[in-house]
């Protein structure tokens, strides 16, 4: 297969000889916005992330295989992919461990008032805080029970939390006390002390967390978004954030987040720049996923 590899796979250049040994002819481009190193018609397979944002997929007339380095499919025209019978794979499971650790870490920082103690440490100030909270006994709602959601469930369950799931495709799963269909999200929100968003961005899930649904969350609940920013209506979040314990936000509707966004100055928000997926094991996991997918072509 004539394979185009982009720098979105950080180890891709080092794996060219291995791909060629598998029988593929490989072209490499570091930056996906650059000109292709070969004619569009020559490309039969791609390993990329956002290549089709700047190179329309329609130009790849002989494309039959896509391997994404991301877990989400939102940077690809999936209607076109399905209509043309193109085989597509994502990086399922590659980033789930660091993302789940990040979600748990963020909630613990809010519950244990980490910012308060860090600031006092900087000021050499010895002051107790009597408002620390416990995870044990809390109800955690995980919206999106795929690989990332499952890893979150494992970790919160280890802290003696009750785990409820909401998913487009509910199922029996020992990680959860129950998994409800998406149309029962409202019911689940009223029960949850912690809401973790890990679901993909689609037309159905855009602004899933809107003013109505924020109003149904418990006062003092905590929100975590490690999915996609547009799942949350930002204005609705701003209107409701002060009645929550806080929020752990790694993704935003518009990235990078505007410097004048009021979210920056909220004391009960942990705000990070789309960074939750980072972990030293990603390279090894991604390589394994890519090579395994290619062996099945």
Annotated catalytic residues are: 228, 255, 274
Q: Within 13 Å, how many C-alpha atoms sit on residue 23's CB side? A: 5
223: Cβ–Cβ under 8 A, 6 or more apart, which residues?
194, 195, 197, 209, 217, 237, 244, 246, 247, 248, 249
Structure tokens at 290: 């890519």
Tokens of 269: 């928000």
In the structure encoding, which two tokens stand for residue 8, read together?
């979105």
Query: Rounded to an integer, what distance in angstroms lies between the CA atom of residue 177 and that of residue 179?
Result: 7
**What are the distances in angstroms from CA 159 to CA 41, 71, 140, 290?**
53, 27, 11, 34
Contacts for 153-158 with beta carbons within 8 Å, 24 or more apart? 154/100, 155/100, 155/101, 155/103, 155/104, 156/104, 156/194, 156/196
Q: How far apart are CA 112 and CA 130, in angstroms?
A: 10
């Amino acid at each position: 297969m004539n394979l185009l590899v982009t720098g979105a796979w950080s180890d891709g250049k080092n794996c060219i000889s291995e791909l060629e040994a598998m029988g593929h002819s490989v072209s490499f481009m570091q930056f996906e916005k650059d000109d292709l190193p070969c004619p569009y018609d020559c490309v039969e397979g791609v390993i990329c992330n956002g290549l089709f944002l700047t190179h329309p997929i329609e130009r790849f007339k002989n494309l039959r295989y896509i391997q994404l380095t991301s877990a989400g499919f939102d940077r690809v025209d999936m209607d076109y992919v399905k209509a043309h019978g193109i085989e597509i794979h994502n990086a399922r499971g590659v980033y789930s461990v660091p993302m789940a650790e990040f979600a748990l870490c963020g909630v613990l920082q809010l519950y244990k008032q980490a910012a308060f103690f860090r600031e006092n440490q900087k000021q050499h100030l010895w002051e107790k805080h009597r408002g620390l909270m416990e995870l044990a006994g809390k109800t955690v709602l995980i919206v999106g029970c795929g690989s990332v959601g499952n890893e979150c469930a494992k970790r919160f369950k280890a802290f003696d939390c009750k785990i409820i799931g909401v998913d487009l495709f509910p199922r029996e799963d020992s990680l959860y006390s129950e998994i409800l269909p998406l149309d029962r999200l409202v019911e689940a929100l009223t029960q949850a002390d912690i809401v973790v968003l890990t679901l993909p961005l689609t037309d159905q899930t855009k602004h899933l967390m809107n003013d109505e649904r924020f109003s149904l969350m418990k006062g003092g609940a905590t929100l975590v978004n490690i999915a996609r920013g547009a799942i949350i209506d930002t204005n609705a979040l701003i209107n409701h954030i002060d009645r929550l314990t806080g929020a752990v936000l790694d993704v935003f509707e518009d990235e990078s987040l505007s410097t004048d966004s009021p979210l920056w100055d909220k004391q009960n928000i942990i705000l990070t720049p789309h960074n939750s997926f980072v972990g030293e094991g990603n390279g090894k996991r991604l390589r394994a996923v890519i090579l395994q997918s290619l062996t099945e072509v």
